[in-house]
Amino acid sequence: MLGSGKGSNFVAIADAVAAGKIPAQIAIVLSDVENSGILAHARERNLPAQFIPPGKFRTKLDEDAERAFVKALQDAKVDLIVLAGFMRVLKGDFLRAFEGRIVNVHPSLLPSFPGLESWKQALDHGVKVTGCTVHFVDAGIDAGAIIDQQTVPVLDNDTAESLHQRIHAAEHELYPKCVAAIARGEIAVQGRKVIWKK
Ligand code: GAR
């Protein structure tokens, strides 16, 4: 798993693995942020956790960093890469190394509000319903095939903070469910469409 922040989605997935709800193991946790919550949570659970410096760019990994991430993931023999609040865009060599095997959670109903602070974008736009999306990662920004989505109503008295909290709670239900389905081989990808076989 890869993340840059608090790691609450990591916790939801690690708890689901520990409870036997996801037939998989978390092989390694990597972060581009040294003091991130996700690394702390992983270490509390005695899982391999590693900080890899991202290099000179702000929104992507530089070449050395990309190579180091790919090597760490290949050495850990991962089958699936789960992005949980990883705030850098993955590019060419990384995507090619793990094509079709990277998933992400995003805090909006894609294709609405890609990019940063999507809950704020939703609030500012005045939509009545937003939510979260789990999707495969491709070369676009928050653009790959959608695995599943969960809606969250926008309330009249919502602040960015209160809406973000409810979206987070929805992510913690949706993401483990999607990862479990992938681990069980229950989803098939047909172009942009993801079919749930069960
Ligand atoms: C989540 O809300 C996730 O959807 C978002 O970062 C948060 C990470 O929270 N990801 C993105 O915006 C990616 N474009 P967490 O560290 O508590 O799991």
Q: Kindly state if the Cβ of 144 falls inside 6 Å of ligand 1.
A: no
Which pLDDT score, from 0 to 100, does residue 46 have?
A: 98
In sequence order, the 6+-apart residues with CB closer than 8 A to the CB of 169 are none
Ligand 1 close to Cβ of residue 133 (< 6 A): no
176 lines ligand 1 (CB under 6 A): no
**Ligand 1: distance of its center to the CA of 6 in Å?**
8
pTM: 0.97
Q: Structure tokens of 170?
A: 């929805």
Token pair of 112, please? 């609405």
In this prediction, residue 37 carries a pLDDT of 98
SS3 call for 2: strand
The question of whether 106 is a catalytic residue gets the answer yes
H helix and E strand count, the chain: 6, 9
Instruction: Tell me the pLDDT of the chain (198 aa) as tens digits.
Output: 999 999 999 999 999 999 999 999 999 999 999 999 999 999 999 999 999 999 999 999 999 999 999 999 999 999 999 999 999 999 989 999 999 999 999 999 999 999 999 999 999 999 999 999 999 999 999 999 999 999 999 999 999 999 999 999 999 999 999 999 999 999 999 999 999 997
Could you count the other beta carbons within 10 Å of the beta carbon of residue 61?
24
pLDDT recorded at residue 198: 78
Most ligand 1 atoms within 8 A of CB, residue of 32, 82, 83, 105 to mutate: 105
